[in-house]
Structure 1
Amino acid sequence: MKLAVWRESGPVPRDRARDLFLDGPPEPDEDFAEAFAELFPGVRIDDIVPERIDEISNAVFRLAREHGLVCYDPQRDLVHNLEPRGVHPQLEMHTGDGMIVTDPDLRLIADVLGTLSSENPFVALVCFGQHFIQVSPGYELEFKEGGKIRGTVTTDLAEVRRAFLEYATGDRAFLQRHEWKPV
């Protein structure tokens, strides 16, 4: 398993990141490489054993953000950009296939929602102790706030993306567009 980390002046779309990776992954800067080596002695970012991919990749996403770098995950075909981000810096995105990203960028959120499947059975955005929104295949949405969980169903992935992006940016319009029932 491999990850690629490099510096960019702005957000990178998946197709460009994929092409860069296929042409020979860009090298991370020296500061990042040193910080990675301290966290994971003896591990190479371009050769991560499958048993540790979630643990290491989640740390790499965090470390790349700290160093102002873009990260491309070729296994999931996802790019972790620095911006644009939502309004909750403590927001975490969790997926059913083991990915955890703190303060994910909005493009990543939208792209991850397209990966819902039996291999990735949920995506959740969570502000621990406050609220969350999550979805499973079949586009069953759940929203929790104030100790109450409400659910709704939609058939449209575009609507799911819209609801998640609204949630991430602090817009609550998704609550008015659907009929929510207690779960």
Structure 2
Amino acid sequence: MSVELMVWDEPVPISRDQARATYLAVKRADPVAGAEPPEVAKELPGELTLYPGHVLVSMDLDAMDEMSAQVFTIARAHGLVCYDPQRDLVHNVAPLGVYDGMQLHTGDGMIVHDPDLGLVHDVLATLSPQNPFVALVSFGRHFLQVSPGYELEYKEGTLVRAVLPELAEVQNAFSEYATGDRSFLTRHRWSPPD
């Protein structure tokens, strides 16, 4: 079984709905045969199909996690949007958090270096038994992670936990963490792990 990602240029960040609509419209079009591939295509792994202004990257399911991380990194380096139709997530170039090298990790195997804030927001809505955690990690400094039931764990020296009642509060805490705002630490009741 194969999976795919689509890479293209957008002048401003786009929503998942916009990315999905673009992906579906492009897939209905005919691929470009014999055209000179764009510069980014020379760096992308996997099997490539070229469409006008878009590159479709296909890969085996068992290689998805590793190859997707490469595609996300290459797309960002070229200032391109990347849409993941399997997860229904869009990777925009900006806005980013304040921690250079911050990583987004998910329980379903996705790893993204320097994720955009929209992606972080959208990924949190995918928490489920198939995606049992989401973490933002600034290695060597601190991290914030959440599991279904909205149990947050924050570590900066000492590990503390809090349970939040709603997804919107979790998304707000992750946004604050990513932008260097520590308001989430004073707004919620934290306790050491059992």
Q: TM-score range by the shorter chain?
A: over 0.9
- Work out the percentage of aligned pairs sharing the same amino acid: 56
The equivalent residue for 2:58 is: 47
Given residue 186 of structure 2, which amino acid in structure 1 is its aligned partner?
A: Q
* Structure (1 or 2) with the larger CA radius of gyration: 2
Deviation at 1:43, TM superposition (A): 3.2
Aligned partner of 1:165 among 170, 175, 179: 175
Q: How many residues align?
A: 177
What displacement does 1:89 show? 1.7
Q: What TM-score does the superposition give when structure 2 sets the normalisation length?
A: 0.88
Unaligned runs of 5+ in 2: 32-36, 49-55
Q: TM-score, normalised by structure 1?
A: 0.93
SS at match of 2:129: coil
- What's the offset of the Cα at 1:101? 0.4
Q: CA deviation at 1:24?
A: 1.6
Of 69, 74, 84, which aligns to 1:63? Answer: 74
- Which of the numbers 22, 25, 40 marks the counterpart of 1:23? 25
2:15 matches 1:13: yes
Q: Which amino acid aligns with 2:160?
A: R
Render the CA deviation track for 1:3-61: whole Å, top value 9, x for unaligned.
Answer: 0000110001111110111112598x61110111xxx3x63353211010111111100
What is the distance in 2 between the residues matched to 1:7 and 1:47? 18
In the alignment, what sits opposite 2:84? 73
* Structure with more strand by fraction: 2
Q: CA RMSD in A?
A: 1.4
Alignment of 1:96-135 (within 5 A): 96-135=107-146
SS of 2:58's equivalent in the other structure is coil
